[in-house]
Amino acid sequence: MSVSARPHAVIVPLPAQGHINPMMHLAKKLAREDGFLITFVNTDFIHARIMEAKMNIKSTLQYHVDETSIRLKSIPDGLEPQDSRTSDFPKVLRALENSMAPSLDKLIQEINEKEEYKVTCLIVDLWMQFLLDVAKRHDIPRAALFPGLTATCALRYNSPTLVSSNLLPSNGVPEENKMVKYLPFLPPLYSAHLPWLHGGKTESELLFELGQRTTAKMKDMEWTLFNSFYDLEAPVIDEFSKQVGVLPIGPLIPPQFLHGDLDQKRTVNNTGLWTEELECLDWLDRQSPCSVIYVSFGSFAMFNARQLEELALGLEATQKPFLWVVRNDLMDGKTVALPSGFTERIKDRGCLVSWAPQLSVLSHPSVACFITHCGWNSTLESISMGVPMICWPYFADQFLDRTYIVEVWKIGLALNTNEDGLIPKDEIAAAVKRLISEEEGGEIKKRVTKLKGNCRAAVKEGESSYNNYKLFVNAMKRK
């Protein structure tokens, strides 16, 4: 490739950890495999968080972005400094929609006027589809990435049809909780677990409307990418592709984790908002194979004091070693308070960290299972590493993810609440025992190991995700 022909992609994720990660994986893939220069654009707020994590001495060995190929830039998000970026998603998305396009337009214009490599394509998170008009103004190819389960996008896209067929009320918020077969190619789902139901009725209505408006734009998109792979969601992809363009290119995971380059597994990290505590990998090295329970609930989930206590005591009751990610804001945003004497009692078999290098953990031979919130990144990473899951969804699309994990793919177990709405310690300990020590767990391990093989095969030359990715790259290069 000549210097003058170098492709230059501007990539804009939704400003949330679970959306930034797959976008950065895509950016690195484009730079590594296809020679792209990447301008990765976060909001000012997120950019500051990333730089703070990068500067922490504990993460300097892990943090890696090739600055000759990937530059981190930022633009305003339209919110005031004191505004929350996590508690009111509709407000955040409205602010982004009202403010970001002019700033992005200006950034691309400045790059084209001042830099050697002009911008040749724009790639955005599907939730940021309102930015694609910027690409039209600059006459460059454009694409969107949906970083979740394809089935979730299909459900959102078809929600107007569900309203017209009386499977949903016009506001998207069912009045009663019942099991419903919403689409022929999806499993039945409890109506209380629809992905837009979060917070109160008003917020759920706004999320429903935002999802409808966002996915409706797919009709006009030539390139909509999905962080999934064909064998994982074949019935959904086959049917959804009859409605809109669906291009699964996943899993978007660094190649060293898919191809077993053990020397590299400790030297690559995502562009994260938290500092990873790498000492936990040394702790894992000292544990027996397939013995450790890994526990992490992503970047948003929070627990009240009673539920956090049940979780801690449940882990203690397993009598197994465990690695638990305890974010500083895990307890309803307050300082985490663990049960009296807990830390002392588990000191010989428990490792508590504020954030972990998740792919390195899941790929470690000592890890036996993953207690997870069922976020899509965590789900796909667990499948890619062949780790069975114990499912504890928190909100939004995580309930549909759990349905696929437990009922469709049968690679995990669900946890059930008691009459007080809590998941008790005995339920947690029993699920771990079933997964690690009983025959049922052995069958689950066989199924997830098979999916692991399918997952890794999908990105090999000539296979489904590889072929889809190359089609997309050639389009972005206008070949």
The first and second tokens of residue 53, run together, are 């994590």
Q: Work out the burial of residue 280: count CB atoms within 10 Å of its CB; fewer than 13 is exposed, 13-18 middle, 19 or more buried.
A: buried
71 phi, psi to nearest 5 deg: -110, 135
Q: Which of 125, 231, 397, 401 is the catalytic position? A: 125
- Is-catalytic flag, 125? yes
Same domain, 423 and 279: yes
298 phi, psi to nearest 5 deg: 70, -160
Same domain, 232 and 360: no
H or E element, residue 206: helix 201-216
- pLDDT tens-digit readout, 384-405: 999 999 999 998 999 999 999 9
Same domain, 226 and 124: yes
Same domain, 196 and 295: no
Residue 263 belongs to a domain: no
pLDDT at residue 58 above 50? Answer: no
Domain boundaries, position 36: 3-253+458-476
Q: With helix as H, strand as E and coil as C, how does 32-81 read?
A: HHHCCEEEEEEEHHHHHHHHHHHHCHHHCCCCCCCCCCEEEEEECCCCCC
Same domain, 49 and 121: yes
173 phi, psi to nearest 5 deg: -110, 100
pLDDT at residue 478 above 60? Answer: yes
d(CA 228, CA 7): 25
Same domain, 28 and 164: yes
Same domain, 350 and 450: yes
Query: What Rg value do the Cα atoms of the chain yield, rounded?
Result: 22
Residue 412, beta-bridge partner list? 389
Q: Which of 8, 19, 193, 364 is the catalytic position? A: 19
Same domain, 214 and 293: no
Top pLDDT among 271 and 260 is at: 260
Identify the CA nearest to 149 among candidates 238, 242, 241, 229: 229
pTM (two decimals): 0.94
Mean pLDDT of 11-37: 95
Looking only at the bridges linking them, the beta strands covering 189-190 and 179-180 are antiparallel
- pLDDT tens-digit readout, 140-189: 999 999 999 999 999 999 999 999 999 999 999 999 999 999 999 999 99
Buried b (16+ CB within 10 A) or exposed e, 65-90: beeebbebebbebbbeeeeebeebbb
- pLDDT tens-digit readout, 411-425: 999 999 999 999 999
Residue 307 belongs to a domain: yes
pLDDT band at 284 (very low <50, low <70, confident <90, very high): very high
pLDDT at residue 60 above 60? Answer: no
Residue 112 belongs to a domain: yes
Residue 265 belongs to a domain: no
Same domain, 229 and 323: no
**What residues have CB less than 8 Å from 342, skipping those under 6 apart?**
312, 313, 316
Residue 267 belongs to a domain: no
Same domain, 204 and 121: yes
Q: Which CATH number fits the domain that encloses residue 185?
A: 3.40.50.2000
Same domain, 438 and 466: no
- pLDDT tens-digit readout, 225-269: 999 999 999 999 999 999 999 999 999 999 999 987 655 455 545
pLDDT at residue 86 above 80? Answer: no
- Is-catalytic flag, 19? yes
The structural domain count of the chain equals: 2
d(CA 304, CA 309): 9
pLDDT averaged over every residue in the chain? 92
Residue 259 belongs to a domain: no
